[in-house]
Amino acid sequence: MNYLKRLFLFTLFLAGIGVIAGEMATHPTAQSARLTSGTATLRLVAPTTGAAIGGPFTVTLQIEGAGAPVSALQADVSYDPKIIEFQGLTPGAFLGSSGRQTLCPPVAVAAGSVRLACASAGDGPGASGSGRLTVLHFVAVGSGVSDLTLGGAMLLDMGRPPLPFSLNLANGRVTVPTPTATPAPAEIFLPVIER
């Protein structure tokens, strides 16, 4: 299957996710009565040592405890754009770990927010358990602390129609320390002795 056909099918799949999310948001009684596929945790894992101004770093979106096969995810990640700047996204190994192909369309970037989506396609069951969903690439542009907040998260199973997971969200934080000034080397003057 060529890339454009796969992208078209993926776009239709994501449109279906939007319909499901819209139905759940506009019909709260349907939301409470709707079955879920179980629970899972989405966790943002940031570097514990912080990041240096001008330096690149990564933040990993992890899934933990998915008891049913996962077919797709969508999430918003918010951050402080005065401290860090989004550079790109790399799919993690989790969705493709069962042999299915992972598709992640270009992310939607706004000031201080990134909306990402990925799905798996192909024969066989989707992945379950725990693992790395995506890797977000950032660069530090200012000193301070930037909270990394998950929102609008949706994780779907392999059912027809797909059922959402009940999600626990674990946010992250990255610290960019103020650079310390390097003292200039002291000048030493030696007396000149003539013979």
The two three-digit tokens of residue 177, written as one number: 């320390």
DSSP string, 13-68: HHHHHHHHHHHHHH-HHHHHHS----EEEEEEE--TT---TT-EEEEEEEEEEEEE
Expressed in percent and rounded to 5, the helix, strand and coil fractions of the chain are 15, 45, 35
Q: Write the pLDDT tens digit of every residue in 2-14.
A: 444 454 445 545 5
Tell me which DSSP letter residue 164 carries.
B
Kindly give the parts of the chain with pLDDT less than 70.
1-35, 181-184, 186, 189-190
Return the pLDDT at 60: 97
- Looking at the domain 36-176, which fold is it? Immunoglobulin-like (2.60.40)
Sequence ranges of the domains in the chain: 36-176
SS3 11: helix
The two three-digit tokens of residue 57, written as one number: 């770093």
